[in-house]
């Protein structure tokens, strides 16, 4: 065996002996160990959908591919015929090369095999085959032939664009099980990045872990990994280029290590760790019906974050006392021109309310933008054409207020659902008084429209997400306007420290223990409690056991997290005596910073961990 040890996110070469292994390092974002065969989602300059299709849809999907090939051939032939007489001969020759590549069996024929054997949709299959062929071109010694890779990429890009505008596309089949055609081997996902819309397709599949080239600890990819409760490593730079389809891969989500083609000794060690983790999970599930009460009798509410109506069942099973955050934007993903209307949204919200059996449900208005674009706004457009920094652009409440008709439509749907149970409305990314006024104006207009149409709605509490430093600093104004507040710590950290949380290049600067971040969190909790307003934390900090004692000491009594994290946080709460946290606040980890009260009346200051 040859072990190739690499610095973080890079590599020193590939061992071509298939009995040799390779290691890569990235950022650990979801704990545990995953072992399986690699399934690659190849990167492309064109954003494409990735989903599995039903066996009965294979022939139809291949027909789509061949129709796209014929359409591109006709397009290239037309360009060639329309060349002016004085056009350079090289232009016609270049079009000949593109036509030759287009009709080569190594492209469309092999792509059809991906559809047949793996049940990939046509776009995914084409991207996967491009990755295979691109590697062949890279290995060519002849400079001229090696440079033809760019021609191949251009041909594939044309095909993808035709496929993306094909109205006969097979709808994503979330229920398809990849194991039906992958055998008994477990599967792990390897990609440059995984879009939130793609994660919806992979959510209920058999992937036991995933690796991405890009991303940080609180990028959306990382959050989804934790929500799925599967091991993941992000920011591994070249992983999707180095790992090949069907390679055996070990993902160490604790250390941020990815091992390709591990030896039998390494495999056995990691399988033992897998068994230990599973035993710990089983032990924690016994706490699901135990009330979350500290040793000194402080009752704590543990709510669930969910993304789709079907997630409500998992929230109840985990022992959640309600839904603290329903990310409604996921209803809008994987949709193009057919966005969910008022009635469809109303039915989705009612499904959650009914499933929670009388427990409260907090619905956040759409947080579209940044790393969660609508299909009708391509990620490329949002990231490169319309916004230099999408995290600071038209997203969340800014987007909703810019689309007043759609915003009122969603508000009406939420209001109607409130007639069936306890529904609370949560508004993301507020920072300006004008946004507060705009939100309540839209809400008043929605109520008026429902009243005029004779449709029932309940009394809905309205809350604000505190995720922009400006909101935390003017918290008293927010508490004047809103019934409750919820701290979105992921964005609060990002904006306080001026760090793109999805960028692995600055991931080491993303620091939830930063004194400024903790002071803003403590300030918000303290102000809300003083005013008698409900306050919760729904960001990743809520589901991190190392922060549980700190947040309890700040006075927090309401946490919201993914259902898979509830048991671990409950265990931490059951072991805590809040009376002992007033003088010295320690995180659960031995290397966590120490916090002591500030003299100004209840804030916190950080003492960095010792080296």
The label of the residue with tokens 């990028």 reads 219
Instruction: Considering the candidates 50, 98, 220, 420, report the single residue annotated as catalytic.
Output: 220
- For the chain, helix (H) and strand (E) counts, in that order, are 23, 20
Burial class (CB in 10 A: 0-12, 13-18, 19+), 284: middle
Q: Count of CB atoms within 10 A of residue 398's CB?
A: 19
Helices 58-81 and 122-138: angle between axes, nearest 10 degrees = 60
Distance (Å) of CA 90 to CA 43, 94, 97, 100, 150: 30, 6, 10, 15, 16
The label of the residue with tokens 């907090």 reads 362
Binding site, annotated residues for phosphoenolpyruvate: 327, 364, 490-491, 501
Give the chain's length. 611
Q: Which helix (H) or strand (E) holds 514?
A: none
Tell me the H-state helices in 293-396: 312-317, 342-355, 379-380
Contact in structure between 404 and 439 (CB atoms under 8 Å): no
Q: Which helix (H) or strand (E) holds 139?
A: none
Helices 489-496 and 515-530: angle between axes, nearest 10 degrees = 130
Binding site, annotated residues for Mg(2+): 467, 491
Residues contacting residue 525 through CB under 8 Å, at least 6 positions apart? 487, 535, 551, 554, 555, 556
Binding site, annotated residues: 327, 364, 467, 490-491, 501
Instruction: Considering the candidates 50, 350, 538, 562, report the single residue annotated as catalytic.
Output: 538
Contact in structure between 313 and 355 (CB atoms under 8 Å): yes
Q: In the 8-state DSSP scheme, what is residue 578?
A: G
DSSP character string of 300-314? -EEEEEESSGGGHHH
538 is catalytic: yes
220 is catalytic: yes
Residue 101, token pair as written in the block: 């590549």
Q: How far is 42 from 193, CA to CA, in rounded Å?
A: 9
Q: Which residues are catalytic?
A: 220, 538
């Amino acid at each position: 065996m040859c072990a190739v040890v690499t610095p973080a996110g890079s590599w020193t070469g590939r061992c071509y002996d298939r009995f040799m292994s390779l290691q890569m390092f990235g950022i650990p974002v979801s704990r545990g160990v995953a072992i399986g065969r690699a399934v690659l989602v190849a990167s492309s300059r064109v954003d494409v959908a990735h989903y599995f299709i039903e066996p009965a849809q294979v022939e139809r999907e291949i027909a789509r591919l061949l129709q796209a090939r014929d359409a591109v051939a006709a397009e290239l032939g037309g360009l060639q015929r329309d060349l002016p007489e004085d056009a350079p001969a090289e232009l016609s020759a270049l079009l000949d090369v593109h036509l030759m590549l287009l009709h080569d069996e190594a492209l469309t024929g092999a792509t059809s095999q991906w559809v047949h054997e793996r049940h990939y949709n046509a776009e995914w299959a084409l991207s996967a085959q491009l990755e295979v062929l691109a590697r062949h071109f890279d290995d060519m010694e002849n400079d001229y032939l090696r440079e033809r890779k760019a021609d191949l990429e251009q041909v594939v890009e044309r095909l993808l664009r035709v496929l993306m505008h094909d109205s006969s596309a097979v709808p994503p089949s979330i229920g398809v099980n990849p194991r039906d055609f992958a055998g008994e081997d477990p599967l792990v996902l390897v990609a440059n990045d995984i879009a939130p819309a793609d994660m919806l397709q992979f959510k209920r599949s058999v992937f036991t872990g995933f690796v991405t080239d890009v991303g940080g600890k609180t990028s959306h990819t990382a959050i989804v990994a934790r929500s799925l409760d599967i091991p993941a490593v992000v920011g591994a730079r070249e992983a999707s280029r180095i790992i090949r389809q069907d390679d055996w891969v070990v993902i160490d989500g604790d250390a941020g290590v990815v091992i390709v083609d591990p030896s039998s000794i390494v495999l056995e060690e990691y399988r033992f760790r897998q068994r230990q983790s599973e035993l710990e999970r089983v032990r924690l599930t016994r706490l699901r019906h135990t009330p979350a009460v500290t040793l000194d009798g402080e009752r704590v509410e543990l709510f669930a974050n969910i993304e789709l109506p079907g997630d409500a069942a998992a929230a109840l099973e985990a022992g959640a006392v309600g839904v603290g955050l329903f990310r409604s934007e996921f209803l809008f993903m994987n949709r193009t021109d057919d966005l969910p209307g008022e009635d469809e949204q109303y039915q989705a919200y009612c499904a959650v309310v009914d499933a929670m059996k009388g427990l409260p449900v907090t619905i956040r208005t759409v947080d579209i933008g940044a790393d969660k674009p609508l299909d009708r706004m391509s990620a490329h457009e949002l990231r490169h054409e319309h916004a230099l920094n999408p995290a600071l652009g038209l997203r969340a409440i800014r987007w909703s207020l810019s689309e007043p008709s759609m915003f009122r439509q969603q508000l009406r749907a939420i209001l109607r659902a409130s007639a069936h149970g306890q529904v609370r409305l949560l508004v993301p990314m507020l920072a300006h008084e004008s946004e507060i006024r705009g939100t309540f104006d839209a809400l008043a207009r929605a109520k008026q429209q429902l009243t005029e149409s004779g449709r029932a709605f309940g009394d809905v509490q309205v809350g604000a997400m505190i995720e922009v430093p400006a909101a935390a600093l003017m918290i008293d104004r927010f508490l004047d306007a809103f019934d409750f507040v919820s701290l979105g710590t992921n964005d609060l950290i990002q904006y306080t420290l001026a760090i793109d949380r999805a960028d692995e290049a600055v991931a080491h600067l993303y620091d939830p223990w930063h004194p400024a971040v903790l002071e803003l969190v403590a300030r918000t909790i303290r102000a809300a409690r003083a005013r008698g307003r409900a306050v919760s934390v729904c960001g990743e900090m809520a589901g991190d056991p190392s922060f549980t004692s700190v947040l309890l000491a700040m006075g927090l009594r309401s946490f919201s997290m993914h259902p898979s994290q509830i048991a671990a946080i409950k265990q931490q709460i059951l072991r805590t005596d809040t009376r002992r946290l007033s003088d010295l606040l320690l995180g659960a980890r031995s290397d966590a910073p120490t916090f002591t009260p500030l003299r100004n009346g209840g804030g916190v200051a950080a003492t960095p961990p010792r080296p």
